[in-house]
Amino acid sequence: RTRWLVLLFLAACVGLIAATYAFVTLALFLNDPARSPFSFSGGRWVELAWIAGIISGSVSLVALVRWVQMSAGGSAIAEMMGARRIQTNTDKTRLAQYHNVVEEIALAANMPVPGVYYLPGERGMNAFAAGVSPADSIVCVTEGLLDHLNRDELQAVVAHEFSHILQGDTRLNIRLAAMIKGITFIGDVGRILLYSGRSRRRSKSDQRVAISLLGLGLWLLGSVGTFFARLIQSAISRQREYFADASAVQFTRNGDAVADAIKVVAGYLPSSHVAIPQASDFAHAFFGTVKPHFWAWMSTHPPIEARILRIQPRWDGRAIERSMIHYATPKTGADTPAKARIAAAAILAGANPAGFFSPEPQVSESSSVDG
């Protein structure tokens, strides 16, 4: 898997260099029609070398910075995503049960108890593990998963995440996330410039157009990197999910609970989707698909049906439906520090920050997590 990761990463860098060179050559040809876009005479090789150096250096630098950030431990990754740590003495029933389940699986796996986190306000049913080693690892689930799974099913999901820790998948996930950030960095800069060009109402029209065109060009180049990044994620993570499901059966000695947990996700309307923008670069580390993909072969996870059939070959095809928890609609406007941070993250991810404040899930008083 690591060899595949290196080869695909190099292929992504080559694709970015080729796309950037083609973009620059086309721009120069439009400015000077006498300049042939297909000729490598003169100083063209020097131009290609400069472009290759700039792209490779940028990708490597961003990936290195990201690696340093994420190698600080699983808790750094969890807090980067806005997760909250659950203390051992929590007085909330569901959170205490979740903490007890993590301790049980740690005992069964003969490893230290990892940090226990959850993502508040995420109605999608999902989970992930993170950390460079078992000593600094964490397990995190979404609030939607805590609300809709019973104890045995929750134990199955936690056991699935423990498999990723024990097999070294979490370390590989950090490497992969760092490389993906490096590859998609150019597209991120392009989206930021596009947003900046649209928001500069007081500046000159020519300046706005120039910034927008530059942003559009970088975004188009970044789309090449994004394509390779998603391809890398899907190539590396699919088989590991099947293995983690099998390991969850081994840990819990309860194959039905593992299959039922996946069936509940299959019968749940928000499925396993996660709204926070930071989840995209770490999508390969989650229990289920973070965002839907039009092309199945680009998905980071195997189909839900295939995962269930691996555990229960005689499955009748029926999902499990649970009564959905009703979430309160938050007040609009980024008038709190938390919303301000979400807006900033949305801008960096290239999304419209207003979309993050229209009814996203907040747990109501009837939520089991809040007692």
- Report pLDDT for 43: 62
Among this protein's residues, is 153 annotated catalytic? no
Which residue, 204, 72, 223, 230, is CA-closest to 138? 72
Question: What interhelical angle do 205-252 and 304-311 show, nearest 10?
Answer: 10
Give tens-digit pLDDT for 277-323. 888 878 888 999 888 766 665 677 888 999 999 999 999 999 999 88
Contact (CB, 8 A) for 119 and 83? yes
CA atoms of 234 and 239, how far apart (whole Å): 9
| Residue 198, pLDDT score | 59
What is the C-alpha to C-alpha distance for residues 3 and 238, in angstroms, rounded to an integer? 16
pLDDT-derived band at 356 (thresholds 50, 70, 90) equals very low
The mean pLDDT of 65-93, rounded to a whole number, is 88
Ranked by mean pLDDT, the top range of 31-35, 319-323, 329-333, 367-371 is 319-323
Identify the top-confidence range among 23-27, 71-75, 135-139, 232-236: 135-139
pLDDT digits (tens, 9 = 90+) for 19-69: 777 777 776 666 666 666 556 555 667 777 877 888 888 888 888 888 888
> Is the pLDDT confidence value at 76 over 60?
yes
Question: What pLDDT is recorded for position 336?
Answer: 41
pLDDT tens track for 183-233: 788 777 777 777 765 555 555 565 666 677 777 777 777 777 777 777 777
Which of the four pLDDT bands, split at 50, 70 and 90, describes residue 137? very high
Q: Which entry of 122, 143, 153, 161 is annotated as an active-site residue? A: 161
Taking the mean position of all CA atoms in its chain, how far away is CA 213?
28
DSSP H helices, 253-315, are 255-266, 304-311
Mean pLDDT of 367-371: 49
